[in-house]
Structure formats: C-alpha cells, structure tokens
Structure 1
Amino acid sequence: MSNTPHAPTPVASEHIELKARNVSFGWEDTPLHWLPGDPFATHTINVLHLLLPAGERWFVHVYKQVLPYIKDEQLRADVVGFIGQEAMHAAAHDDVLPHLKRLGLDPTPYTAQVDWLFEKLLGDRTLPPGRARHWWLMERVALIAAIEHYTAFLGDWVLNADELDRRGADPVMLDLLRWHGAEEVEHRSVAFDLFMHVDGGYRRRARTWATAFTALVFLWQRGARFFMENDPELPAAKASLGQFFRAGRQGTLPSAGAMLKSIPTYLSRTYHPSQEGSTAQAVAYLASSPGANGGAAA
C-alpha cells in the first residue's frame, strides 16, 4: 500500500469496515460543570468542542482533495468511511456550543480564532498547479496523520477513564465523548495508512508531528484558560499546569507521562496505529452507546 520500502505492518485483526452513525444527544440537563466538583477537568475536556468542529471539517476538506491519489480500493473505502465519521463528529460537538452559551459561557471569541487557523492558515492556498500545490496537500495529509495519533490516544483514554464514572460525570456528555473516542479508535489507522500510501516520507512525518504536537498543546492550554477565565460560576478562576498534572494523577485527564510516552511511539519507524488501542472494545461501546443507538443517555 505504501510508496516507501519500509512500511510498518498493520495488525490485520484490528481492521473493520467504517460507517458513519447517526447520533442524538440531548443537552437540556447537562450542567456547565458536567464533572462534579472539577471545573478544570471539565473545561480542559470541553476544549474538544472548540477545536473539533473546525478541525474535523478541515480533515474532510483535505481528504476529498486527496481521493484521486488513492490507488488502493480498500484504502479508498476506509477514507470514505473516515470522512463520514469525521463529518458527524464535527456536527455533534458543534451542537454543544449553543448549550454552553445558554449556560453563560460564550465560546465564540475562541472558536473564531480556531476557524481562522483551519480555514486560512491551514486552508487551500493560491498556489500554482504542480509541485507547490502537491507539496502543500501532502503536508496537510501528514499533519492529519499526526493529529489522528492523538485523537486515537484520547479515544482510548476516555474509553478506559473509569474515574469519570466514579466522579459522577454527566452521562450524556460522557456518552458523546466515548462514542467519539470509540470511533477514533475504530478508524485510528486510516490517516496513517493514507499518508504512507501517498507519501510516507519519514522526515515529513517527523516534521509534521512536531508541528501538530506543538499546535495542539498551545491550542489546548489556551482553550482551557479561556473557559476557566470566562466561567460565569467561577469569578477570577485560572487554569494552571499544576491542575493538569494533578488531574492526570487522579485519572480525570490523561496523565502527562502517558502523553510523553506517545511521542516515541509515533516516531518509531516500526509504528502502526493498529498496535495501539482495541477495535473490539470500541465496537462494543458503540453497540451500547445510547447516543449512537437512537437516543440520549439516561
């Protein structure tokens, strides 16, 4: 499948046919601090609602451009399934934003900046046909592969984050996060396989990982600070690294150690996303998810 001589070997048993699922989540009873007593973890996870709608629409836009370059029919089918799932993710997280606004936390100032990032900075450029335009397309395909490494990491984390259940997290929000996380695990190999198929260069892979990781850290801490500083129930609240490390130790956020360990994993020349996470676990959750099976969680 790859145009490189040293393509890593996927775990065949982890492959599954991808499909977009119609989902329904009702936000009427979800409180602003949906993880009781922990506004910092709540808002850090809430950053997903700020980043994902624009980011995943950007994924879809880029992948529609790269479809003509795909020569493998199975990979093409996987990419089409991926596009459908990502479009649904964007819409589902977008639906949370009006609810936050009704609760007194208007995300518009931050989402406007995120929209600019994906639509302008990372959008299509007025490049002449040929090498420059192809380079920019491949660069974005590689960026998406790096970002998807972390969305799969987060998906696997939230599927196993039992502390959120023990703390009494709002069931509808938890279902949204786990439905999305399960689909990220389910399609975790697609972006990497596509990159390896159309380019696969290790230097590009490493370079775009560094760009993606830096951007995600910057955007996430900025988003958490925005939410904390604008929370109507927490006058003068601030976000801090200490809160992040503490939440990681407590299990309400991914730990810093686990995030750091994910770096050499992605940069290993033998890495393949199918080596991480469990498709069986993801599919089992999707089969039981209230939101993915006709109604909001009770």
Structure 2
Amino acid sequence: MKFDWKDTPVDWIPNQPFASYFINEINNILPAGEFWFCRLYNKVLPRITDEKLKQDVQAFIRQEAMHANAHTSANKEYLSARNIDIQRNLDIMNYLFTTALADKPFDKEVPQFLQEQWDLFRLGVIATVEHMTCVLGKYALYNNRWEELGADPEMVDLVKWHGSEEIEHRTVAFDLYRHLGGGYIPRYYLSLAVITLVLGLWVDGAAHIMKQDPRFADAAKSKFFPAWVAVEWYKISRKDNQVLPNPFWLIAQQIDYLMPWYDPVKEGSTEDAVSYLSQSPAAKRAELQAA
C-alpha cells in the first residue's frame, strides 16, 4: 500500500488543528506495536493446532505488517517532512515493544517454565488492543464528518482503510488468545491496564507534537500541557463527537470485552469493511501496481 502525502497539510481537517494533530499521533503509536504483533505471532505460530486459525493468523501478520509500513510512510513522508519532530514519540513506542514487552523483557531471560505464560500475557495485550482498534475502526468507517469538513482525502483513506481491515480481522487476536489458553479473569486486568496505557500514550504523544506548533504555544508553556490536551480532547469530542471520539465513550466500549459472552464477530460488519476496502483509492492503486 502506498499513500501520497505531498499535498496533505498538517491541518488535514480544515480549521481543526487540534483534531488533526491528535489523530496524526496514531501514525507514531502504531508501527512499533504492529511489528511487535507480527514477531510474537510468528513465534507462537507452531503452537496453533487449528489449521483455519493458523491461516487467519498468517493473514493477520501480513495485514499488520502492511499497516505498520503505511503509518511509517506517514511518519517519514508527512510528519517529518513538515519539520515535526516525532523521534521522541517513536523512541517511547520502540522501548515499550522492543524492551519492556520483548521476548526477554528488559533484557532479562524469562524462566523456561514461565515462557508460555509470558507469551500468553502478551497475546492478551494484543487481543485487548485489537478490540480497541476494532472500535476505532468502526468509528472511522462510519464517520462522514471529516469529509463534510473538507478533510484531506489521502489521510481519510489511510484511517478508513486501516479501520476497515481492523474490522475485517477483528476475531483473530481473541481467537488465538483463547486457543492458546487465555482465560476470562485476565481480560479484566489486561483491559484496565491496556486502555489506561493506550490513552495515556495517545495524549502524551499528541501533546509532544502539538507543542511544536506556535498556535499551541501559550498552553504548551505549562508543565500540565498533557492534562490540557486530555481536557481539550474531551471538550472537542463533547461538542462534536464525529471530529474526535469521546474518551469516555472509548472507555465504555471496553465493557463488552469484559463480558463472559463476548464475541468479536458481533463487534462489526465484515461486509461493510470489505465494501470500503474494495473502493479505497490506495487499495486500488496497489492493485494496479501489482497487476
């Protein structure tokens, strides 16, 4: 997948600099995590005994690698090219996924008898994240407000294309987690930990790139600027929840995941996702290049 960022402005949603930066931070958050998904899934692949699930996991790995590369291109060819320093944010994500959540966390060998449990814990993290990305994918796919405001079509396509693929493969991470022994009780603490971490990283990272813009100079002088960003996110989403999703709404979406009868199949429409993927401008360009 190739996106062309040369004409995409920093304020890709016109007259919405905060929302533009806030969504742009997703490009910094995702690549390291998605490459980590791929590494971990390749590691546990030999332990999958269900052939259909194994094929689904292999397809998931290919999709996640494609997502990571697409967001990396947005980092290099869009944000960095516009003199936005994102390295600090990338370093944080790389540390999280190559050090803290690595096969050898903090370069410490995991005892042999705990290795499968360490893998299972990390698979639970992925399953929780994938529930969140499915929720955000639905939000993006069915949201026409950005287009109504004249948003840049390339960025809209990236967000909706990625969101549609998250809906399409929404069952894989949860099915794999359960297949390898993931239990119901750990979903509680994993959900609480993951959503707190993700929202915290999102706000903190967005604050870092926003403070480089003179338009946020006054607010950025405060050491509590990340807290200001969190409050502003809530205020903007409360005014128009199609410009940005309400953070409390996002948290509430975790409730379904905590239910014993949770079924990711019910969390989205594969038909709607595939329908968008069939008309995505970037996907069509990729098909032409592959032909």
With structure 2 as the length reference, what TM-score do the two structures score? 0.90
Alignment of 1:232-243 (within 5 A): 234-238=216-220, 239-243=228-232
> Residues 216, 128 of structure 1: CA spacing in aligned structure 2 closer, same or farther, 3 A cutoff?
closer
Q: Contact conserved, 2:11 with 2:20, CA < 8 A, in 1?
A: yes
In 1, the alpha carbon distance for the partners of 2:144 and 2:102 equals 38
**TM-fit CA distance, 1:128:** 4.9
Range 249-258 or range 50-59, more displaced:
249-258
AA partner of residue 6 (structure 2) = E
Q: Which residue of 1 aligns with 2:193?
A: 211
In 1, the alpha carbon distance for the partners of 2:216 and 2:12 equals 14
Q: Which residue of 2 aligns with 1:186?
A: 168
Q: Which residue of 2 aligns with 1:248?
A: 237
In 1, the alpha carbon distance for the partners of 2:131 and 2:122 equals 14
In 2, the alpha carbon distance for the partners of 1:116 and 1:260 equals 25
Asked if 1:158 corresponds to 2:147, the answer is no
Unaligned runs of 5+ in 2: 221-227
**TM-fit CA distance, 1:66:** 1.0
Q: Contact conserved, 2:120 with 2:182, CA < 8 A, in 1?
A: no
Unaligned runs of 5+ in 1: 1-22
Q: Note the aligned Cα RMSD (angstroms).
A: 1.6
2:93 to 100, 106, 114: 114
SS of 1:148's equivalent?
A: helix
Asked if 1:61 corresponds to 2:39, the answer is yes
> Residues 233, 104 of structure 1: CA spacing in aligned structure 2 closer, same or farther, 3 A cutoff?
farther
Q: Contact conserved, 1:228 with 1:237, CA < 8 A, in 2?
A: no
Q: Which residue of 1 aligns with 2:183?
A: 201
User: Whose RCO is larger (CA < 8 A, sep 6+)?
Assistant: 1
The sequence identity of aligned pairs, in percent, is: 39
In 1, the alpha carbon distance for the partners of 2:232 and 2:154 equals 25
With structure 1 as the length reference, what TM-score do the two structures score? 0.88
AA partner of residue 288 (structure 1) = Q
Q: Which residue of 1 aligns with 2:10?
A: 32
**TM-fit CA distance, 1:261:** 2.2
Alignment of 1:27-106 (within 5 A): 27-98=5-76, 99-106=78-85
> Residues 131, 116 of structure 1: CA spacing in aligned structure 2 closer, same or farther, 3 A cutoff?
same
Work out the number of aligned pairs and report it: 274
**TM-fit CA distance, 1:246:** 2.8
